[in-house]
Structure 1
Amino acid sequence: MASSGPAEWYNTLPTITRFFGTACVATTIAMEFNVVDPFYLVLDWRMVFQKFQIWRLVTCFFIIGGFSWNFLMRVILIHNYGVGLEKGVFQFKTPEFLYMLLFGALTLLSISLALPGFNLIVLNGPFVFMLLYVWSKHYPTQNVSIMGLFQVQGFYLPWAFLMINMVLGGSPWQDLFGIFTGHLHYFLTELNPNTRQAMEPPEFVHKFIAWTNAGHVSQSYVQRQGPAGVFRGRGQRLGGN
């Protein structure tokens, strides 16, 4: 590990989390050096509906802010818990991981539209908190060190970060929206057997993962394609085949 350079470390990151983290860092650099005006990236529903600036529905998830302590902590959270999920619980279920992110993004966009009073124009914070919450539900007993100051079990991790944010003077609402979104997904996919099948990734998600070779397509989907399927890459090697 000591001989590995930054490029080698970067290439070992799982594809989807690597893309998201890179987009967040690149957006921060572009904003910091005035390459792009944040006004054109934040979620402005009036501009979306009236000017058809639909890119705002995506770029609002990449905005962290300028280089700061908050930026550093957000990048660490993306690395620790985004990578932790993609290489852990979702290691052989890349479509499920991507679909979870899409579900979370659509849920947060809906909350922003339905509750304009909360002024949710930047959704990176609640989106990352959603990842943190889902991770905590899958690893509830794992001990985690927070900034090297104290340890908590995974189950309490989102609430610990929520309290830290409040102590530092931040509003709890964005974190709570992220927790709500993460719990909604966990409830629909893990706790409620009546909704598990409905939460399975649709065909286009599987096709996208197979087309981009971004990860493992589920074995059941590969089998549905039959021997004449056009999909290749890691998806067909699932399960050691």
Structure 2
Amino acid sequence: MAYEALWHEYMQMPVVTRAYTTACVITTLAVQLDLVSPFQLYFNPILIVEQYQTFAFFVNLLFLGHAFTIMLVYVWSRRNPFVRMNFFGLLNFQAPYLPWVLLGFSVLLGNTIWVDLVGMAVGHTYYFAEDVFPRLRGGFRILKTPQILKTLFDAHPEDPDYMPPPEDRPGGFNWGQEANVQ
């Protein structure tokens, strides 16, 4: 029963989120089970010259997954400014402070701050380009979704004339139909 509920929730995720989550879980399991070495997954600056890879060369990061996750957290937190958060039951704050709380926690654990700062910088750049700049006077959308992604992932429009079968209607009422009053 719990498996079915978990599967249902998993399938309710947006396609890209589901793919990213699946890739993270599979990659983590593969590394933990020694099927894949983490060194096979790292960013290799030498390949930039040989195979024209870009992004992380300028910030000297070898593993970009954490920075990507912080970027997603940053964008979510800026888009949900009024959500109240609780960190280990000790600290209450609004969502926009979440990336900074996570940065502070990373520092307490002895991690470097550069990965978090890179993620926040990229997240802020994306948030500004996607949410702030288009709303400014004379602003426009800088980032455009490629048509192939729209075709693959956009939901198909629902049929406005669709009526579910009677057994799917809650309460046994004829929702959406006129009542016969005598």
State the TM-score, normalized to the length of structure 1.
0.58
With over 3 angstroms needed to count, the CA separation of the structure-2 counterparts of 1:45 and 1:207, relative to structure 1, is farther
Give unpaired runs (5+ residues) of structure 1: 58-108, 210-216, 218-233
Please identify the structure whose Cα radius of gyration is greater: 2
One of 101, 106, 110 as aligned partner of 1:165: 106
Q: Deviations over 1:34-83 (max 9, x none)?
A: 11122221111323543x4x8xx7xxxxxxxxxxxxxxxxxxxxxxxxxx
**Worse-matched range after superposition: 35-44 or 8-17:** 8-17
Structure 1 or 2: more helix by fraction: 1
Contact 2:129–2:141, Cα closer than 8 Å, also in 1? no
For residues 116-195 of structure 1, the aligned pairs below 5 Å read: 119-193=60-134
Give CA-to-partner distance per residue, 1:175-201, whole Å, 9 cap, x none: 011110111011112222355323121
Contact 1:136 1:155 in 2 (8 A): yes
Structure-2 change in CA distance of 1:34 and 1:157 (3 Å): same
1:17 CA drift (Å): 1.1
The answer to which structure, 1 or 2, has the higher relative contact order (CA under 8 A, 6+ apart) is: 1
Equivalent residues of 1:190, 1:196 under 8 A apart: no
The secondary structure found in structure 2 opposite 1:199 is: coil
Structure 1 residues 164 and 239 mapped into 2: Cα distance closer, same or farther (>3 Å)? farther
Task: Determine the structure 2 residue equivalent to 1:8.
Answer: 8
Q: How does 1:33-44 map to 2 (within 5 A)?
A: 33-44=33-44
Give the TM-score of the pair, scaled to structure 2.
0.75
Matching of residue 203 in structure 1 with residue 147 in structure 2: yes
Alignment-derived partner of residue 237 in structure 1: 158
The gaps in structure 2 that reach 5 residues or longer are: 163-182
Classify the secondary structure of the residue corresponding to 1:152.
strand
Q: Say what the alpha-carbon RMSD is for the aligned residues.
A: 2.7
